[in-house]
Chains A and B, each alone.
Chain A
Amino acid sequence: MSFINDHILTLVTFVPLVGSLALWTVIKRAEFARVFALVVALVDFVLSLHLWFRFDAGRGDDQFVERVPWLLNGEVSYHMGMDGISLVLAMLTTFLGPLVILSTWQAVRERVPSFMACILFLQAAMLGTFFARDMLLFYVFWEAMLIPMYFIIGIWGGQRRIYAAVKFFIFTMVGSVFMLVGILYLYFQAGGMGLTDFMNLQIGHDAQLWLFAAFFLAFAIKVPVFPLHTWLPDAHVQAPTAGSVILAGVLLKMGTYGMLRFAMPLFPEGVAAFAPAISILAVIGIIYGALVAMVQPDVKKLVAYSSVSHLGFVVLGLFSLTPLGVAGGIFQMLAHGLSTGALFLLVGMIYERRHTREISEFGGLAHKMPVYAVFFMIATLASVGLPIMAGFIGEFMILFGTFNSETLEHGRLFAILAATGVVLGAIYMLWMYQRVFLGKLSNAKNEGLTDLSLREVVVLLPIVVFIFWLGVQPSLILNRVEASVERVLAPLTAAVAEAQGTAPSHTGILLPDGQRAEIGTAFGSDHQKFLIRDTESQR
């Protein structure tokens, strides 16, 4: 048991990789490849449960750390670690893994072993990215994600798959190259590749701006942040369902994770300088993504643009630099992974039946496929952010945090503008739902449609359960990320405040209670006077 405990991160990361290699080399039969991949993904999920249950939520630092000197006399090390933020994203990855594989049971018929190998390889790379605490190791995992995704789109994709795959590849590569330059620069300064080595560096103001820009670009493309998003609709539309689910479910979060883990803590002066601009882009992304989603004739493209909108919320939350906004951002990453993952799965299911995703081809499907319609309704409402579903918690916390931000100028305005996304979300999702599912069954081609199979229900049900579970009991996640968020954020906000030339005020929620108790009693006695003082001090 202790062996497992000491090497759990390696195990969780490399079990799918080993499975991938087996599929690439030994396994030839499609049926066996499917079952094998599913078993590997399930084993990985079970292993990751160890992380979930053994994780000490009271600590914000890295746990299950493994560190072995690797290259250049230990300047580069195999350094894996996991805090609460990495934990919840890794769990999302291992949770979606088996479901994704199960969803391809009938959709993928060509070169099945290779396909499954790509999926598992991708999973390993994603998990490694979340766990890596050495920058070279991180970069290797980061780049390694590209390759299987490229193949998944380029080989098993739709008609314009090559275009989409190349576009995806070049976009991401361009960003990564800048980041690589940044990493090398820091390495030569620090004499080590460890994240802690980088954190301990004293970096000059201008260098911080440049480095932040380089890192941010790499991550912003991945998210994607407006206006770097145009690869996304193409990639989604061309990718097979499994590719889209992983792309939306986990890969996009690599960008926001990277911001929170690397770009922001390493370069607080960059954050201070660029946060207003980034927040503007995030808000534009929210509204723009929603408006463009609204007029899409293709369901999948609609969902793709909705991701631009939803991820805009995440970026806004992160750059609010409030504990609530950041935690909300993390929560929204999960919520979006679940709801959009479910939506892409659902779109894939109708595509398998009808080989089209044009909204105008459908109408009245609820008559023929009532179970499908119910699942789609739930996913729709989750995407819209209805309370007691996961999406509400994330959006609420993000908007609240942004509204409450002290470092972000015009935070309130941003929050108000972003909140219009909540209205727009309802418009494009419900309008789409109406045109696809309600009304009369207008198209004769839909007459022969069959409702969901048991396998399809099995794929969707766990996601739906968690959509509600997280909505009703968000503490499941929040408890586990709270300490880690504070650990990342406390030095960051202090540094940003310093860079902005303002001392951090005492109204942050995670500060000790002393001052507030005073405030409370002062209020009781002479509240009018106090109120005046309070409003003045806030100015």
Chain B
Amino acid sequence: MESHSTEILLRWIVVIPLLGAMVNGLLNRRLPKQAAGLLACAAVGISFAMSVIVFLRLTGMPAAERMVTDTVATWIGFGKFQVDLAFAMDSLGAVMALVVTGVGFLIHIYSLGYMAHDAGFQRFFSYLNLFIFAMMTLVLGENLLMLFIGWEGVGLCSYLLIAFWFNDEANAAAGKKAFIVNRIGDFGFLIGMFLIGVTVLPHLHEGEGLFSFQVLQHHVGILAPVATAICLLLFVGATGKSAQIPLYIWLPDAMAGPTPVSALIHAATMVTAGVYMIARMNFLFVLSPTAMGVVAAVGVATAIFASSIALVQNDIKKVLAYSTVSQLGYMMLACGVGAFGVAIFHVMTHAFFKALLFLGSGSVIHAMSDEQDMRVMGGLKTKLPITYWTFLAGTLAIAGVFPLAGFFSKDEILWKTFSGELGGVLPWAIGFLAAGMTAFYMMRLVVMTFYGKNRASAEVQSHIHESPATMTGVLIVLAVLSIVGGWIGWPHFMGGGAWFENWLEPVFAGAHGAGAAAVAGGHGAGHVGHDTTIEWILAGASLAWGILGLSLGYFVYTRKVSIAESFRRLGGGFPHKVLLNKYYVDEGYEAVFIRPGFKLSKSILWKIVDAGLIDGLMVNGSALVVAVLGSVLRIFQNGMVRFYAWSFTIGVAVFVLYLSFSG
């Protein structure tokens, strides 16, 4: 009986935030702000508490059976095509659920303060709850189609929240861009699902759900011949959601949303959905070295590409946005080299420190009267002490300073890239380089924001104040997590137990199994007797490199701004301009796809084909011929049709009567 009650918790973990969203959405301003905020926080808090309960139950189960399933009903049932409305939590789902509800809860609390004076307070919390609902559907969905519901749902919430301040049409456009670019990714996802479905469907046994992860894993041999195609298609979806090349373009624009949204959705949780999906489908990805190679290559390319853009941005949130794109690239790299557990580890640590950094930037923006340009900031260290110290913790964490959270996960990714059979020295070197750039641009951000003199107007300066306790309290909690959160992944070579990876081991065990021999899944208890010297050397190099990046950033932007100046003028200022304009990728898409698409649709399809050819020539043209021949058209317009209608009615009546009586 006890076990039954835990299972049923899964649906409530998902549904309670939905209820919160509905109450807030329907009552809206009729609900006082305090009540609305409390309700929303409570909904997520309850979800978190229930996630902890199920998690604790999982810890008591043997590793191989670590899974709780709650089947609500059949969702789509048609012949053998059966898809359940079902939730499941295994060790991977548990990590994601705890991160999403945990960090989500903290950001809800933070938003109480951040959004306190906003007229759309209730609407905001309604959307935020709705997001938690969708995200939990995504991570707890028992099958790929449930995951897809959540996938689309978080996309919708992202759209709604980016465009939250829709009075400014630029925000509305950014929201729309996010939705559409994600839809392009979803197109790949959909086709990938079709390919999975049609391949598996004929082999399904009675009672097996078509897209159930367990069923797919069971039938993975059938999927093997088409694994490369499926994985690449699913990966297209992942590049949309997780902002990888070439679909990352929506994420920087998404910063138009309120900062807690950037922290929750566009840093900590939603954008990691692509990584989660690949990790979830690991049993399939490991069958295709090609797909894995593509994932790793795109990941590492995105990592360096985005960090190069982050080097020169002046908007504090844009720096963090490109940093997020870059960090997501690391996670993809980890997936691509088969280190799924490490990818999820980085998802978690990144959720802590990137949420912290975004919320910290929110505190700064809040203090600076909604200013986001770092060129007019500076000197906030003393005025916003809690924000500063917590932000510094986040910066050191992302830069990979020992023993903060980012060190463990990022170092592990680089190590697996270096040592794994799917990795190599080149991707490692690129990732290593990007790590140094990360440290550099983060320190640049810290210096421009917190050090030196404040460069804002006197008016703005007079309003600078530390944020309320709801906000700073959350910053402190996240700072602690950013510092200690990586310790659960303390690696073996440093005398730790790599507990985090061991916990995930059962989910990725399949990656070691049959058919995966091609892939060195060097994760989990992957300490099979290698010499730890290289690992020590690389870890030391990572640390030194990170500290060097930080120091360089500090030195250049506090002492020798002239160095930055001369870099800016390098090559006639052209490289700097390219970086500042983000390699002109948006402009390129605009010129290649968007404008020609509109021109084609408007000038050719609508005006020429539809109005001209089909309607003008064929339809009205043939009518004209008739008209010319016998002025028929005019007769029609003079009521011929009405005449026809009546003659039809009368004719039928007469016909029927005649036949009735003659018969």
Contact = CB atoms under 8 A, between A and B. Distances in A.
Contacts of B190: 396, 399, 419, 422
Given A71-B659, A520-B205, A400 B166 contact: no
Given A167-B619, A509-B80, A513-B206, A292 B194 contact: no
B656 interface: yes
Contacts of B159: 430
Contact of A520 (B163, B203, B609): B203
A170 interface: yes
Contact of B79 (A169, A227, A324, A437): A324
Contacts of A72: 659, 663
11 contacts: A71-B663, A291-B597, A292-B610, A294-B598, A295-B605, A323-B79, A381-B156, A426-B179, A430-B159, A475-B77, A482-B78
Contacts of A327: 78
Given A71-B656, A399-B194, A531-B221, A291 B601 contact: yes
A507 interface: yes
A255 to B, nearest CB: 18
Contact of A366 (B85, B148, B166, B202): B166
Contacts of A535: 225
Interface stretch (B169-177, B261-269, B418-426, B459-467): B169-177
A73 B148 CA distance: 59
Nearest to A405: B198
Contact of A166 (B74, B169, B172, B636): B636
Contact of A440 (B75, B167, B173): B167
Contacts of A381: 156
Contacts of A393: 76
B623 interface: yes
B197 A404 contact: yes
B2 interface: no
Interface in A437-496: 437-440, 472-475, 478-479, 482
B623 A170 contact: yes
B78 A430 contact: no
A49 B269 CA distance: 46
Nearest to A517: B205
A523 B78 contact: no
A14 to B, nearest CB: 15
B600 interface: yes
Contact of A422 (B75, B187, B195, B606): B187
B31 interface: no
B77 A291 contact: no
A488 to B, nearest CB: 14
A354 interface: no
Interface residues of B, number: 74
Interface in A279-295: 288, 291-292, 294-295
B212 to A, nearest CB: 15
B649 A147 contact: yes
Given A150-B645, A162-B637, A434 B176 contact: yes
B336 interface: no
A510 B81 CA distance: 9
Interface in A2-50: none
A292 B605 contact: yes
Contacts of A387: 148-149, 152-153
Contact of B202 (A294, A324, A434, A519): A519
Contacts of A420: 187
A423 B184 contact: yes
Contact of A439 (B75, B168, B602, B610): B168
Nearest to A328: B78
Given A419-B187, A531-B222, A523 B203 contact: yes
A503 interface: no
A248 B615 CA distance: 20
A258 interface: no
B194 A474 contact: no
A169 B641 CA distance: 8
Nearest to A441: B167
Give the interface SS of chain A, mostly helix, strand, loop or mixed: helix
A431 interface: yes
Nearest to B29: A370
A171 B614 CA distance: 13
Given A71-B663, A523-B221, A292 B78 contact: no
A171 B636 CA distance: 13
Nearest to A371: B28
A356 interface: no
B224 A531 contact: yes
B652 interface: yes
Contact of B663 (A73, A171, A292, A507): A73
Contacts of B642: 150
Contact of B186 (A166, A422, A509, A517): A422
B307 to A, nearest CB: 30
Nearest to B190: A419
Interface string B205-235: 1100000000000010110110000000000
B457 interface: no
B172 A439 contact: yes
B76 A291 contact: no
B619 A230 contact: yes
Interface in A401-430: 403-404, 415-416, 419-420, 422-423, 426-427, 430
Contacts of A323: 78-79
Given A294-B598, A535-B225, A509 B176 contact: no
B660 interface: yes
A531 B614 contact: no
A374 to B, nearest CB: 8
A205 interface: no
A92 interface: no
Contacts of A173: 644
Contact of B166 (A73, A291, A439): A439
Interface in A284-340: 288, 291-292, 294-296, 323-324, 327
- Among all A-B residue pairs, the 9 with the closest Cβ atoms: A439-B169, A438-B172, A295-B602, A507-B202, A291-B601, A438-B166, A230-B615, A71-B659, A527-B221
B183 interface: yes
Contacts of A209: none
B645 A170 contact: no
B180 interface: yes
B299 to A, nearest CB: 24
Given A323-B78, A423-B180, A434 B172 contact: yes
Interface in B621-663: 623, 636-637, 641-642, 644-645, 648-649, 652, 656, 659-660, 663
A291 B663 contact: no
A169 B642 CA distance: 10
A434 B169 contact: yes
Interface in A492-539: 506-507, 509-510, 513, 516-517, 519-520, 523, 527-528, 531, 534-535
